[in-house]
């Protein structure tokens, strides 16, 4: 079983709002999410609200075993499109009518946030009363104050970062301007369990929020367009937070969290200072361009065992997606990692724009070359994923070619059998694409999947196709980046023209900093 420290237990008779922070995926995934943990602590700082956690497949809270339907507000954290099915399953289990039109004022208010809610709320819009567009901690206090004042849906419309399907209002994203205004947890929940199901990815470690947002501009990456610009926490604040968290937990291990931790200005100084205070450091997110031998050595010295790198593809296709890292740099980072005896995990994409079978053959050779750089093959693992076009990215006008991806995935499987390779199912990626880029009609097939198996042909019936001048389902959600800018980037997928990193060069007016 599981035991936890630092959870909030309040007297339910003394609070005005009972808030169910619901994660439609298993405990391990929920508690590995920094955003989920931030909201839990942040909301519980309010004396008038008790925020409790509920994770799939349970429909009772961890804190007090209260059933989901007894809460005033149920908030779903939508990190992955595939979790939409679990949202409906949880509502069904707890006997809350799925569709908002079938619910009454006696039912809890159902809200949703997270990257999927921010990017395209439409597929889930028949079920959710209010979507939070952006970073929760900027919006949630205003939202809860308003809830206490007036529960009418229309009263929430004047809060920035709110989308209400009933009014289909235009919404602007709300994010923290500076990391000084962000919430940094100093009393994180620590969970212990013998059961792997409950062990979090960063178990026994304090998560430090080094930065948010990334402006490198990889053309397939949704979070890099949603959460611009890049915002960094200053080193003193990070070291202070780490020390205070250690005092509150007894933990000595730090996990650095950010969109691309190695891009953090002063990463080596940060590692040295944390190490100097006796911390062990790890991080799941390194950007190849900004990795130095010194930063790898420091990370190794402080206990990191595995590094994760994302070359994505061969050089010519990397240029198309604006991730123009030279092969020499990729190979030299891998060589350094091999020298330092890291386990290495590499991510690749298939189905990139204009990718041919010849490219796939070249990719297989490329992967083979990397695999052979280590004498123990099991130390290098490859994850190959079909690229899924996402809203608010230059790829939003591309479709998903199921047959082509299936053929390529088969070829790779056959030709790289002897290496440690995991290929994501083309069918799963197709469903993810429909859930990501679909409109509100997609809700029909999500709901149908609750009662029976839905075959691939039925899914294909919901495959979106958008032309460059079409209105897109998420056009009413303004995340800062201008559509005109995305159109320029879309054309550059063809021409392979690079858009430089604005941290290093001049601003190219994507719209995020307006």
Instruction: State the minimum distance, in angstroms, from the CB of residue 33 to ligand SF4.
Output: 25
Closer residue to ligand SF4 (CB): 471 or 514? 514
Neighbouring CB atoms inside 10 A of 456's CB total 11
Q: Which stretch binds ligand SF4 (CB under 6 A): 270-278, 287-295, 397-405, 505-513?
A: 505-513
Instruction: State the minimum distance, in angstroms, from the CB of residue 226 to ligand SF4.
Output: 12
**CA nearest to 400, candidates 356, 448, 466:** 466
Subset of residues 485 to 504 that bind ligand SF4, contact rule: CB under 6 A: 502
**CA nearest to 87, candidates 41, 49, 129, 137:** 129
Query: Quick check: 231 binds ligand SF4 (CB under 6 A)?
Result: no
Instruction: State the minimum distance, in angstroms, from the CB of residue 217 to ligand SF4.
Output: 8
Cα Rg of the chain, angstroms:
23
Distance linking the first and last C-alpha atoms of the chain: 50
Among 184, 199, 216, 228, binds ligand SF4 (CB under 6 A): 228
Query: Quick check: 215 binds ligand SF4 (CB under 6 A)?
Result: yes
Query: Quick check: 512 binds ligand SF4 (CB under 6 A)?
Result: yes
Q: What is the rounded CA–CA span in Å between residue 55 and residue 2? A: 14
Query: Quick check: 476 binds ligand SF4 (CB under 6 A)?
Result: no
Cβ-based neighbours of 343, under 8 Å, separated by 6 or more: 305, 306, 307, 379, 380, 381
Instruction: State the minimum distance, in angstroms, from the CB of residue 151 to ligand SF4.
Output: 37
Binding mask 155-184 for ligand SF4 (x = CB under 6 A): ------------------------------
Q: What is the rounded CA–CA span in Å between residue 170 and residue 475? A: 8
Query: Quick check: 513 binds ligand SF4 (CB under 6 A)?
Result: yes
Closer residue to ligand SF4 (CB): 347 or 501? 501
How many residues sit in the footprint of ligand SF4 (CB under 6 A)? 10
Distances (CA, A) of 225 to 58, 200, 216: 33, 28, 10
Closer residue to ligand SF4 (CB): 434 or 493? 493
Q: What is the rounded CA–CA span in Å between residue 145 and residue 159? A: 11
Q: What is the rounded CA–CA span in Å between residue 62 and residue 41? A: 15
Among 229, 303, 353, 476, binds ligand SF4 (CB under 6 A): 229
Closer residue to ligand SF4 (CB): 29 or 215? 215
Cβ-based neighbours of 244, under 8 Å, separated by 6 or more: 186
Q: What is the rounded CA–CA span in Å between residue 27 and residue 30? A: 5
Q: Which chain residues interact with ligand SF4 by CB under 6 A?
A: 215, 228-229, 502, 507-510, 512-513
């Amino acid at each position: 079983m599981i035991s936890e420290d630092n959870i909030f237990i309040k007297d339910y008779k003394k609070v005005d709002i009972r808030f169910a922070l619901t994660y439609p995926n298993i405990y391990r995934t929920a508690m590995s999410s920094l955003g989920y943990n931030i909201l839990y602590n942040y909301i519980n700082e309010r004396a008038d609200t008790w925020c409790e956690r509920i994770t799939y497949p349970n429909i009772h809270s961890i804190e007090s075993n209260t059933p989901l339907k007894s809460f005033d507000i149920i908030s779903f954290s939508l990190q992955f499109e595939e979790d939409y099915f679990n949202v409906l399953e949880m509502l069904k289990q707890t006997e809350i009518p799925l569709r908002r039109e079938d619910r009454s004022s006696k039912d809890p208010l159902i809200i949703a946030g997270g990257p999927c809610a921010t990017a395209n709320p439409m597929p889930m819009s028949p079920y959710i009363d209010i979507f939070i567009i952006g970073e929760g901690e900027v919006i949630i206090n205003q939202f809860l104050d308003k809830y206490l004042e007036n529960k009418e849906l229309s009263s929430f419309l004047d809060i920035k970062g709110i989308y209400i399907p009933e009014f289909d209002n235009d919404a602007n994203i709300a994010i923290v301007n500076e990391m000084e205004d962000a919430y940094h947890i100093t009393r994180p929940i620590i969970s212990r369990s013998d059961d792997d199901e409950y062990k979090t990815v960063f178990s026994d470690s304090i998560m430090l929020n080094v930065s948010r947002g990334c402006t490198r501009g990889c053309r397939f990456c949704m979070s890099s367009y949603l959460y611009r610009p890049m915002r960094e926490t200053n080193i003193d604040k990070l070291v202070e937070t780490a020390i205070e968290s250690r005092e509150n937990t007894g933990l000595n291990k730090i996990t650095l969290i950010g969109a691309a931790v190695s891009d953090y200005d002063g990463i080596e100084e940060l590692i040295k200072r944390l190490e100097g205070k006796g911390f062990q450091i790890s991080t799941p997110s390194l950007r190849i361009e900004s990795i130095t031998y010194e930063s790898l050595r420091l990370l190794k010295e402080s206990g990191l065992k595995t590094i994760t790198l994302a070359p994505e593809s061969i050089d010519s296709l990397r240029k198309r997606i604006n991730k123009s890292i030279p092969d020499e740099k990729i190979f030299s980072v891998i060589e350094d990692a091999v020298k330092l005896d890291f386990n290495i995990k590499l991510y690749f994409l298939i189905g990139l724009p204009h990718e041919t079978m010849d490219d796939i053959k070249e990719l297989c050779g490329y992967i083979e070359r990397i695999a052979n750089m280590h004498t123990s093959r099991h130390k290098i693992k490859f994850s190959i994923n079909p690229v899924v076009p996402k809203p608010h990215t230059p790829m939003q006008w591309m479709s998903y070619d199921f047959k082509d991806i299936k053929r390529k995935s088969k070829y790779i499987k056959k030709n790289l059998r002897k290496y440690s390779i995991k290929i994501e199912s083309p069918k799963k990626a197709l469903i993810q694409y429909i859930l990501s880029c679909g409109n509100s009609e997609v809700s029909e097939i999500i709901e149908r999947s609750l009662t029976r198996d839905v075959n691939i042909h039925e899914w294909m019936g919901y495959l979106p196709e958008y032309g460059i001048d079409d209105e897109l389902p998420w056009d009413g959600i303004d995340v800062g980046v201008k559509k005109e800018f995305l159109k320029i980037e879309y054309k550059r997928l063809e021409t392979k023209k690079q858009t430089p990193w604005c941290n290093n060069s001049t601003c190219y007016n994507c719209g995020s900093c307006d």
